[in-house]
Structure 1
Amino acid sequence: MLAERPLVAIEAEHGVLGALMHSPDECEVIGAYLDVSDFSQEDNGALYALILASHSKKVAPDPITLSEIRAELPSGDSTLVYAAEVMRNVPSAANGRHYAKIVVERAKARRMYDVGQQLMELAMSAGKIPEQVSQAQALVMELNSREDSPDVVTMKEALGPVFEDMQDRIDGKQFMGLEFGLADLDKIVKCLRPGNLAIIAGRPGTGKTVLGMGLADRVATKKNGSSMVFSLEMPYKELAKRSLASESGVSQNKIETGEAILNDESAARITCAVAALSKADIRICDKGGLTFSRICSIARFQHRAKPLDVIVVDYLSLIATDPSAKLQNRNLELGSYTRGFKALAKELGIPVVVLAQLNRGIENRTDPKPKMSDLRDSGEIEQDADVIIMAHRDMDSERGQNGLTEVDVVKVRHAKPDFCVLQFQGEYARFVNAAAADYEDVRQPAPAREHRPSARTMLGVVKGVH
């Protein structure tokens, strides 16, 4: 039989309170990781808050001083009497930090117990099992997400990791972030950093999925990292075919027809590509109708099983509405998703890349180049995203028909927004760097499109004729 652990340690709670009254300087250390909510009794939490408040004002937190701030504790007991008794029963501050760790440990145990109770209630309540499993995972993962790192650090403590990172990069042990492997685009973005939310937007067929999948493939095959792709539109078989074409340089058509393995050269390329992709840690979830909470649940589970380096979601508008969601407006709902993806990126410490559609209205404008306001059902994308990349290929022009794609980085928090031109190779499902000559006239105003009145407009004209 396992030994039982009490969920409450009143003696340790009194011990840390007494220690802080005897040695107020310990507030600097203990206050960094012990929270008011960690105390099991409300009076103890309130007294702890008074001690910290007194110390922050550079006033010694003795019973008289504390009673001046607040005469009575939540229970109605006298602050002076209660604090004096605690201080008298704890003669020394020697074990204060040890007591604080016990209080934190028991608080975590109580949270775990509460989650267990919630899981039992969830199991016995009516509902869809997949959604309930998702909620259960979120509850358990939240326990893990509570870190022991302090809420506040000094600048001296913050500078240490900065120089450690610098040295690791010099030694080649660490990289600033993730690159697309496209020189001109990487010059602008200057790496997707841990915790970044990146949005890749464009109209259908402009290469959003190719850019996102290309990043996921590169992280896994070239950097020995781990990628997670949520493909809400395209089946995993199609993604695998595209990755194989991109990696091997053999056209998708030849792969589809089987012609690729009949030719010695293409067969050799396919063999090498299969070897590289098979060893790569690329995980694909192509389940349709996933809700936002389910996506986050799967991502957290996969990250806990083996840490991920990037998550790609294709695409935002296809995320299903959660049956329990209270938001009636789709824009507000999608805005809550981008906020949630930003929080997920920060929680896991990796970039999250979300693909998004642009409004159809862009096709009817004189200048078809996309703007930030063209983000379809944008919600709060502009505010939440760290990087926003917009892809545009004008298929009415010779350049567009040849695959030249203008990529505008309209927002990047850690660098200056700019644009570049990439060459889209559709048969290989990939982008490559464009030639210098392809930049000529790229920033010239787009020629005005010939205005063609719609049938509805013509009908209005006809009806207006007398």
Structure 2
Amino acid sequence: MITDRPLVAMEAEFGVIGALFIKPDLIETIGATLGAADFHDQDVAEIYTLILAARSAGRPADPVSIADIRHELTSGELTLVRAAEIMNSVPSAANGIEYARIVVERSKARKIAIIGQSIIDMASHARPLAGIIADAQEAVLALNSEDDEPDVITLREALGPVVDEMDARFNGEGINGHATGLKDLDELLQGLRGSHVIIIAGRPGTGKTTLGLGIAEQLTIRDGKSALVFSLEMSAKELSKRSLASSSAVTLGNIDTGQAMASGEQIVRITGAVSKMSQADLRICQKGGLPLSRIRNIARFQHKAKPLDLIVIDYIGLIAPEAGSRQQNRNLELGAISRGIKGMAKELNVPVIVLAQLNRSIETRSSKKPQMSDLRDSGEIEQDADIIMIAHRDAESDLGRSGVTEIDVVKHRHASVGHCLLQHQGEFARFVNYAGQREQQQEQEARPPAPRTSKSLLNTFNPQGGF
């Protein structure tokens, strides 16, 4: 019984080249999965590159043609001589695709060996152990995620999920993606979908954390899904206290002071909430000062252990720069972080909610209503995000003082922008649907339409025929 796996398969490498010379029609099929870097022999890798170049230029892919492109290989061997030797050693193209699979497999095995050696080397470095572990995890998980999906799919394959989604919506399965539990907000967002980055921005005290955590609670406590929250500022204890207040409808003050234990009704509420919360798959990472590479590694690990339905990062401004980063300013750093978050959402196919601060400049403007350009430090956040919503509460109005908060969706790649009102219940650390908005909508729907004037009739008249 063979237990060892050779790290190099020269016969397979020669077999691929010979098969391509004999049957050039295999070039597109093999070229979609096999790269020049997968070959161990440098001469073979260069010949493979020349075959692809000849095919791309519309020239015959044979030893004479590739020798015309490059007379001599890097090793000093004549291209024609080396290519002819390989071609003559391969009798048939029948197993070309299988040879290519073996070459890719051996290439990955060599990468694993290199990673293993690098981990051994890193272990002796005078660096924080947490950083070494993060680098090791990233290297292994990055290798594992290679080639999970094809580089190219047909339109027919791409249409499959679209048709399935339409069918699900037609059969009453609701919005696409996950619901926030807030009806008016769900109507705007049309679901939190995999690979989307959703920015929740606002000035301090507008409820960004409350909204982000509330959505995670909706998915995990009420809908039985899984979420991971990176709380870079607040401790897990503080988050769980807020979650308990939100789920039990017992005020934060009574939970903080312990006064809730003096009320039988509140004890019943807390007991019921704890029972539900203890069954929820809501995971919290409370480590502060994490760079994005570490956040991605943790998310990958957690997603592999049990698939996640949502990731929340509170907040982007607290993500640390990478060790040895050469970015010249924070704006460039946040741009790189923003692109990395989008990459993570796409890789894991999980919606990522990212909380963000707004610039203080809005406080000096006559209009205090925030805009997308008020996102702090980086305009690239605007570009990478799929959805941007800004929380705003007018502290000078009666509605604002009562907790009514405007959620302004200023960017949405897959639906119209708009706004809605939510009721912030600070004592319970939660948002709920704003009843006043429902009443306004019902009043407008019940109001008789305004009489139409002759002018309005003429403006909308669209004759079907002509004179």
TM-score (norm 1): 0.88
Where does 1:291-330 land on structure 2 (aligned, <5 Å)? 291-330=291-330
SS where residue 20 of structure 1 aligns? helix
| CA 8–231 in structure 1, closer or farther in 2 if over 3 Å, else same | same
Q: Distance in 2 between matches of 1:153 and 1:237?
A: 46
Q: Distance in 2 between matches of 1:398 and 1:172?
A: 39
SS where residue 7 of structure 2 aligns? coil
Contact 1:334–1:379 (CA under 8 A) maintained in structure 2: no
The aligned counterpart of 2:64 is: 64
**Do structure 1's residue 346 and structure 2's residue 350 form an aligned pair?**
no
The aligned counterpart of 2:332 is: 332
| CA 69–150 in structure 1, closer or farther in 2 if over 3 Å, else same | farther
Amino acid at match of 2:249: G
Q: Distance in 2 between matches of 1:4 and 1:213?
A: 49
Q: Report the more deviating stretch, 101-110 or 420-429.
A: 420-429
Amino acid at match of 2:185: L
Q: Structure 1 residue 92: deviation in Å?
A: 1.4
The aligned counterpart of 1:114 is: 114
Q: Distance in 2 between matches of 1:356 and 1:174?
A: 29
Q: Structure 1 residue 436: deviation in Å?
A: 4.8
Q: Distance in 2 between matches of 1:161 and 1:92?
A: 40
Contact 2:185–2:420 (CA under 8 A) maintained in structure 1: yes
Q: Structure 1 residue 170: deviation in Å?
A: 6.2
The aligned counterpart of 2:462 is: none
Amino acid at match of 2:355: L
Q: Structure 1 residue 203: deviation in Å?
A: 0.7
The aligned counterpart of 2:126 is: 126
Q: Distance in 2 between matches of 1:309 and 1:25?
A: 43
Q: Distance in 1 between matches of 2:97 and 2:139?
A: 29
Q: Structure 1 residue 312: deviation in Å?
A: 0.6
The aligned counterpart of 1:139 is: 139
Q: Structure 1 residue 262: deviation in Å?
A: 3.9
Where does 1:287-436 land on structure 2 (aligned, <5 Å)? 287-436=287-436
Q: Distance in 2 between matches of 1:165 and 1:80?
A: 54
Contact 2:197–2:353 (CA under 8 A) maintained in structure 1: yes
Amino acid at match of 1:243: S
Q: Deviations over 1:183-202 (max 9, x none)?
A: 22122222222111111110
Q: Deviations over 1:203-262 (max 9, x none)?
A: 111010011101111121233221111111111111111111222222222323334344
Contact 1:386–1:411 (CA under 8 A) maintained in structure 2: yes
| CA 81–380 in structure 1, closer or farther in 2 if over 3 Å, else same | same
Contact 2:175–2:190 (CA under 8 A) maintained in structure 1: no
SS where residue 91 of structure 1 aligns? coil
Q: Report the more deviating stretch, 366-375 or 41-50.
A: 41-50
Contact 1:138–1:297 (CA under 8 A) maintained in structure 2: yes
Q: Distance in 1 between matches of 2:276 and 2:26?
A: 54
Stretches of structure 1 lacking an aligned partner (at least 5 in a row): 442-466
SS where residue 210 of structure 1 aligns? helix
Q: Distance in 2 between matches of 1:261 and 1:104?
A: 63
Q: Distance in 1 between matches of 2:294 and 2:379?
A: 20
Q: Deviations over 1:77-120 (max 9, x none)?
A: 33322222222221212111111111001110111111122212
Contact 2:327–2:333 (CA under 8 A) maintained in structure 1: yes
| CA 416–173 in structure 1, closer or farther in 2 if over 3 Å, else same | closer
Q: Deviations over 1:380-434 (max 9, x none)?
A: 2111111111000011111100111111111111112211111111112111122
**Do structure 1's residue 206 and structure 2's residue 215 form an aligned pair?**
no
The aligned counterpart of 1:461 is: none
Amino acid at match of 1:81: V
Where does 1:144-293 land on structure 2 (aligned, <5 Å)? 144-164=144-164, 166=166, 176-293=176-293
Q: Structure 1 residue 148: deviation in Å?
A: 4.1
SS where residue 24 of structure 1 aligns? coil
**Do structure 1's residue 89 and structure 2's residue 89 form an aligned pair?**
yes
| CA 291–2 in structure 1, closer or farther in 2 if over 3 Å, else same | farther
Contact 1:245–1:251 (CA under 8 A) maintained in structure 2: yes
Percentage of identical aligned residues: 55
Contact 2:388–2:412 (CA under 8 A) maintained in structure 1: yes
SS where residue 284 of structure 1 aligns? strand
Q: Distance in 1 between matches of 2:163 and 2:46?
A: 39
Q: Distance in 2 between matches of 1:21 and 1:174?
A: 55
Contact 1:421–1:439 (CA under 8 A) maintained in structure 2: no
Amino acid at match of 2:105: E
TM-score (norm 2): 0.88
Q: Distance in 1 between matches of 2:134 and 2:328?
A: 22
| CA 276–249 in structure 1, closer or farther in 2 if over 3 Å, else same | same
Q: What is the CA RMSD across the aligned residues, in angstroms?
A: 2.5
Q: Distance in 1 between matches of 2:72 and 2:285?
A: 56
Contact 1:421–1:438 (CA under 8 A) maintained in structure 2: no
| CA 72–152 in structure 1, closer or farther in 2 if over 3 Å, else same | farther
| CA 398–333 in structure 1, closer or farther in 2 if over 3 Å, else same | same
SS where residue 25 of structure 2 aligns? helix
| CA 203–346 in structure 1, closer or farther in 2 if over 3 Å, else same | same
Q: Structure 1 residue 173: deviation in Å?
A: 8.8
The aligned counterpart of 1:455 is: none
Q: Structure 1 residue 151: deviation in Å?
A: 1.9
Q: Distance in 2 between matches of 1:90 and 1:149?
A: 31
Amino acid at match of 1:197: V
